[in-house]
Amino acid sequence: MILSFMIISSVGALIFLSALAVGTNDAMIRNSTGLYSGHIVGSGITEKEVPLLQVPGVKQVLFRQHQPVLLGSSDSLEPIVLTGVDPAREKEATAFWKKTVKGSYPAQGEETIFLSQETAKRLNVDVGKTVNLISRQGQPLKTLTVSGIYKTGITYLDQGVAFCSAQAMPAGEKSFSAAVFLQADAPLEDIAAQYRTLMPATAFSTWTEFMPDLKQLIDLDYFCMAIVVLLVFAIVSVGISCTFLIFTLKSLREHGIMKAMGFMSGDTALLLLTQIGLLTISAAAIGTLAGALIVGVFSNVGIDIGAYTSHNQYFAVSGILYPRLTGLALFASPFVAVIFSLMAAVWPIAYILRKNPADILRSV
């Protein structure tokens, strides 16, 4: 009972923790890509090529225009890259508009601009004020009204960029990009490879390439989880070994009788291994079921850790985690439990095998 409880509880808890780690990583990816960038970015693309990006597994493709300009107010001049977007589709696919701290996100066809809090502060402008767009060569281009001010906490969005609807973009030379948003579980690398084959002239980069810090963080998360699983079972296996030795000592006389009957050492080892193996496998199966059930509950309701992530750039959109079971999260813990339990059986087996049958029968 004690042995089963140890295995059931540790397997169940570790499956939940593994699923939580997967859920945390999912949330970081979802927040980081869903805020603005998408999962794949294609630079140097033309508008005509955009429909080619709509392959199976792709949820949304956003076409964006970029133009380096100077933003001028009565107080100062600020160099930025103005990004022209389709506001309706951007609001549909990204959570960027939710980061508005004042005013509103630009609407389709409006001659307005969406500034970061930092840029607005440097220009000393507020919602409803106007800013002048000047080319890098110093020629006035047009004037736009500030529709809203945002703050993301992410450097590449808070510094040196501003947004307006595509129709409000000034005349002049532009570069283009496409942000590709994938469906859940869509094969990122496969789709990127497909794009590279289809459009060799366009540079495509996946989120793992343009957000290497996030990639490393996720790898680190999995590495830490693996260490936790191994450490827990290393500790649990000591307990298993001690408990199993006590269990074996309780039937020491029976082992003595079996040895007297001519049980070979291999038979005894196999018997004990089978006992602990069956016990561990059944306990691990129950633990797996229990862990999966707990994950099932929380994967629907989610776990809100927003209070601890509000200033974290990887949780810029939402601090809710949805634990998710993957094959590895589901089977790694029970597999490690069985392996460690079998290893833990070595001590009791060695104890019985080393014992002379006469000594056993004499002592019990």
Q: Looking at 257, 286, 320, 328, which residue binds other proteins (CB under 8 A)? A: 257
The DSSP secondary structure of 38-76, one letter per residue, reads: -SEEEES--GGGGGGG--TTEEEEEEEEEEEEEEE-SS-
Among the candidate windows 15-23, 148-156, 159-167, 257-265, which touches other proteins by CB under 8 A? 257-265
Interface with other proteins, residue 358, by CB under 8 A? yes
The total of other beta-carbon atoms located within 10 Å of residue 173's CB is 8
Q: Looking at 81, 203, 234, 260, which residue binds other proteins (CB under 8 A)? A: 260
Interface with other proteins, residue 228, by CB under 8 A? no
Interface with other proteins, residue 357, by CB under 8 A? yes
CA distance 54 to 61: 7
Interface with other proteins, residue 362, by CB under 8 A? yes
Which are the contacts of 186, defined by CB distance < 8 A and separation ≥ 6?
A: 39, 57, 58, 59
Shortest distance (Å) from residue 347 CB to other proteins: 20
Interface with other proteins, residue 196, by CB under 8 A? no
Q: Are 32 and 211 in contact (CB under 8 A)?
A: yes
Among the candidate windows 28-36, 183-191, 255-263, 342-350, which touches other proteins by CB under 8 A? 255-263
Q: Looking at 30, 64, 259, 324, which residue binds other proteins (CB under 8 A)? A: 259
Interface with other proteins, residue 254, by CB under 8 A? yes
The total of other beta-carbon atoms located within 10 Å of residue 40's CB is 25
Interface with other proteins, residue 231, by CB under 8 A? no
CB closer to other proteins out of 138 and 262? 262
With CA atoms as reference, report the closest residue to 204 among 190, 225, 217: 190
CA distance 110 to 87: 10
Shortest distance (Å) from residue 250 CB to other proteins: 11
CA distance 59 to 184: 9
Using DSSP's 3-state secondary structure scheme, residue 125 falls into: coil
Q: Which x/- pattern over 261-290 shows residues binding other proteins (rule: CB under 8 A)?
A: xxxxx-------------------------
- Contacting residues toward other proteins, per CB under 8 A: 253-254, 257-265, 356-358, 361-362
